[in-house]
């Protein structure tokens, strides 16, 4: 008889029942809406760096219109161990590609911008809270890394007209020549109230 929960602690479980229970867990992880199990049990293939790079570049290009796919820093944040997203990158790459193949029959990087956007929308609205949070995190990290220029302070971001650290105005254009003239006059000669 199938149990919906694991066996009670301390009671020996026949091998056949244990295998059936573990098979049920693995089957549940492979179902479309079970991202937490597939992530926790690592039930997805590990893509090589070149494939992951291509998928992530196509993804960032979809969430940031106007981003150049050949920008060397475009997807650097997704591979940076400083950010916690790197733990989910392989699953995310696999999930994007899996959804693209299911919806359109082609790998994710080969889709046009509209179809890549629909794949992302499918991930965000999949009904699986974990998948939606991973997709949200990927979008947020991609946008922050791109617009903030976290890997190149001097370059800035032309899409939002930020010239970067080297493009700041000279000090004489950032301040007034005699800023004291904007201060209020003292009520008494020594500046203390009467």
Question: Under 8 Å CB-to-CB from 69, ≥6 apart: which residues?
Answer: 57, 58, 61
Give the residue from 10, 8, 146, 148 showing the smallest Cα distance to 69. 146
Q: What is the mean pLDDT of residues 72-81?
A: 91
Q: What is the pLDDT of residues 121-170, one digit of tens each?
A: 998 987 777 888 889 999 999 998 888 777 776 766 666 777 766 666 77
3-state secondary structure string, 160-175? HCECCHHHCCCHHHHC
> Which has more pLDDT, 15 or 5?
15
**88/138 Cα distance (integer angstroms):** 9
> What is the per-residue DSSP string for 55-110?
HHHHHHHHHSTT--TT-TTSSHHHH-TTSGGGGTHHHHHHHHHHHHHHHHSS-GGG
Least confident of 52-61, 78-87, 182-191: 182-191
pLDDT category, 43, cuts 50, 70, 90?
Answer: low
**55/89 Cα distance (integer angstroms):** 10
Least confident of 7-16, 64-73, 170-179: 7-16
User: Does residue 5 surpass a pLDDT of 60?
Assistant: no
Percentages helix, strand, coil for the chain (3-state, rounded to 5) are: 55, 0, 40
Q: What was the pLDDT predicted at 126?
A: 79
Q: What is the pLDDT of residues 92-123, one digit of tens each?
A: 999 899 899 999 999 999 999 999 999 999 98
**91/112 Cα distance (integer angstroms):** 22
Q: What is the pLDDT of residues 15-40, one digit of tens each?
A: 666 556 565 555 544 444 456 656 65
Q: How many CB atoms lie within 10 A of CB 64?
A: 17
Least confident of 29-43, 60-74, 81-95: 29-43
Residue 117 to residues 32, 142, 169, Cα–Cα distance (Å): 19, 14, 38
133, two tokens: 């949070």
C-alpha 18, offset from chain centre: 37
Q: What was the pLDDT predicted at 110?
A: 95
User: Does residue 178 surpass a pLDDT of 50?
Assistant: yes
């Amino acid at each position: 008889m199938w149990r919906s929960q694991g066996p009670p602690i301390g009671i020996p479980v026949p091998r056949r029942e244990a295998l059936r229970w573990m098979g049920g867990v693995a089957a549940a992880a492979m179902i479309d809406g079970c991202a937490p199990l597939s992530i926790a049990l690592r039930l997805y293939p590990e893509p090589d760096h070149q494939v992951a790079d291509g998928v992530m570049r196509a993804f960032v290009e979809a969430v940031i219109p106007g981003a150049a796919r050949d920008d060397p820093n475009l997807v650097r944040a997704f591979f940076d161990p400083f950010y916690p997203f790197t733990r989910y990158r392989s699953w995310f790459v696999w999930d994007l590609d899996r959804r693209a193949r299911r919806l359109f029959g082609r790998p994710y990087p080969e889709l046009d911008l509209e179809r890549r956007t629909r794949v992302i929308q499918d991930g965000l609205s999949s009904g699986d809270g974990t998948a939606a949070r991973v997709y949200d995190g990927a979008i947020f990290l991609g946008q922050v890394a791109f617009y903030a220029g976290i890997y190149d302070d001097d370059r800035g971001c032309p899409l939002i007209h930020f010239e970067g650290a080297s493009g700041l105005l000279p000090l004489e254009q950032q301040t007034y020549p005699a800023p004291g003239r904007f201060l209020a006059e003292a009520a008494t000669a020594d500046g203390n109230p009467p």
